[in-house]
Structures are given as C-alpha cells and as structure tokens.
Amino acid sequence: MLDQHSPLGGDARFETTGLTMREAGGFMLIQYSGPERVLLRELSVEAAFGKNEKSEGRTFFRINSAQIWVIGKELETRHSSITNLSSSRCRIALFGEKARAVLQVCAAVDFSRASFATGAYVMTGIHHTPVLVHCTGPESFHIYAMRSFALSVWEWLIDAASGL
C-alpha cells in the first residue's frame, strides 16, 4: 500500500489548560448526491439539517437538499451519486472546558451549550475557509477543514487558544 500522509503530519497535538486539540484522521467521508426524496430513501435517514443522525456506525450530515455526507463505510445505493471525499478534509478534534470558547473566537456561530448541543453541526468558516463543525459531546468537537487549508486552520486555532 502506498504511504498515507496527513496534512498535519498525523500526530499534531496541542494542549493547554482546559483544552486539547489533535488531528483525528483515519475516517471515511462519502458524499451522496441526488434528489432529496431519493437520497433519504436510499440512505434510510431523516437527516434534519443541523443535527447529525447516527445509524449502524455511520454519522450523517445533511449538507444541502441534494447532498448528504456520511462518516463511515460506503453504503450501496442505486440512484444516488457517490463521491469519496475522505482525503479532502482534515479532521481536528477539540475537547475540554475551553473548546467552546476557542470556537467562539473562530466563527460567528452560537456555540453555547444551549444552542449547539451534542449532535449539532454547522457549516461555517474559520480563517476564511469553509469548515464543518460537529459537536460530538458536551465539551468535544470535530472540525472538518479543507485539506489544503488545514495547516492554516490548525495554526489559527492554536493562536485563538493562546488568547483565551
């Protein structure tokens, strides 16, 4: 097998009081595209926008009316178009009591517990680049950053954390 290389080197990690950030690679991201009713039927999900859905080890994110991202193994579909995006995104995990505060520095989204609870996700921008932020637990999050911008986003996050 050819060597794999991560945009953050695979072992990127940043720790400070109340916050840990690390690269969380090794995931599959598959995009399914198609008419809405076809998508929902073939993937057997409701997939409300802004709230993830989980099923058989997969996590579903509704990206727009015609596209759903699935973290997990590829599903067989007959009519939906499938695009593998596993290399296109770098996943950064944040956790700790300061995680929400870091995110609040980065994007104009209400990341408070009341508004952004476990399972919530949002497509927004960090450091001028598009990202998907997913709340995976009360104080833990995943950021899916574009691979080519990942190092810049990572450096931006560290800088944001340094200012808390």
Which positions lie near another protein, rule CB under 8 A?
A: 1-7, 9, 31, 33-35, 66-67, 81, 83-89, 101, 104-105, 107-110, 112, 115, 127-129, 146-149, 151-153, 155-156, 159-160, 163
Task: Please state the closest distance from residue 76 (CB atom) to another protein, in A.
Answer: 16
Q: Closer to another protein at the Cβ: 20 or 104?
A: 104
Task: Please state the closest distance from residue 55 (CB atom) to another protein, in A.
Answer: 22
Q: Closer to another protein at the Cβ: 55 or 86?
A: 86
Contacts of residue 145, Cβ cutoff 8 Å, sequence gap at least 6? 89, 90, 91, 92, 126, 129, 131, 153, 154
Task: Please state the closest distance from residue 108 (CB atom) to another protein, in A.
Answer: 5
Residue 18 and residue 96: Cα distance in Å, rounded? 5
Q: Closer to another protein at the Cβ: 37 or 128?
A: 128
Task: Please state the closest distance from residue 134 (CB atom) to another protein, in A.
Answer: 18
Q: Closer to another protein at the Cβ: 4 or 17?
A: 4
